[in-house]
Amino acid sequence: MLPARARLTRRPEFASTIRRGRRAGRSRLVVHLDLTRPGGVPEHVSPRAGFVVSKAVGNAVVRHRVTRRLRHLVADRLETLPPGAALVVRALPPAGTASSAELGADLDSALRAARRPRNRNGTRRSEPAQDGPR
């Protein structure tokens, strides 16, 4: 379970994170990760997370199930984020039929992509080639 102090609850917090954060999309979810908080952040401020699960995902039962699964998955990964970070996880329609393992794999992949450094022109740096010497 995500403690109350680790939740995004207000619309401006969601909007700011979505607008300013780095976005990484996968087939079942989209992650918005804002690592830059104005004015610096003290070490005791924990990272916070919020969830967006629209009616496109399914009926109320399905939406709540997806939210519970995502909340559990994010709670395990929240301590890996720096203090003051804000995370918004938006579920896409395929999340309604996905297993927890599939959602976890997409979440891990999206978080890695969102944390990857960017070039000066705003694009993400590509990973170095893994093939041998030429």
| CATH number (domain holding residue 94) | 3.30.230.10
pLDDT-based confidence at residue 64 (cuts at 50, 70, 90) = very high
Q: What percentage of the chain carries pLDDT values higher than 70? A: 81
Closest CA to 92 of 133, 62, 121: 62
Any domain includes 71: yes
How many structural domains are present in the chain?
Answer: 1
Query: Residues near 105 by Cβ (< 8 Å), separated by ≥ 6?
Result: none
Q: Is residue 20 one of the residues assigned to a domain? A: no
Predicted pLDDT of residue 43? 60
Is residue 98 included in any domain, yes or no? yes
* pLDDT(4) > 70: yes
pLDDT tens digits, residue range 92-121? Answer: 999 999 999 999 999 999 999 999 876 656
Q: Which of 28, 47, 26, 25 is nearest to 36 (CA)?
A: 47
Write down the pTM of the prediction. Answer: 0.82
Q: Is residue 96 part of a domain?
A: yes
Q: Is residue 92 part of a domain?
A: yes
Note down the domain range covering 97.
Answer: 25-37+45-115
Q: In this structure, is residue 15 part of a structural domain?
A: no
Q: Which carries the bigger pLDDT value, residue 132 or residue 93?
A: 93
- pLDDT of 58 above 60: yes
The rounded mean pLDDT for the chain is 86
Exposure letters 25-37 (e unless 16+ CB within 10 A, then b): ebebbbbbbbbee
Write down the pLDDT at residue 1: 77
What is the average per-residue pLDDT within 32-53? 79
Residue 102 lies in a domain: yes
Question: Does residue 129 surpass a pLDDT of 60?
Answer: no
- What per-residue confidence (pLDDT) applies to 22? 93
- Domain assignment present for residue 31? The answer is yes
Give residue 118's pLDDT: 67
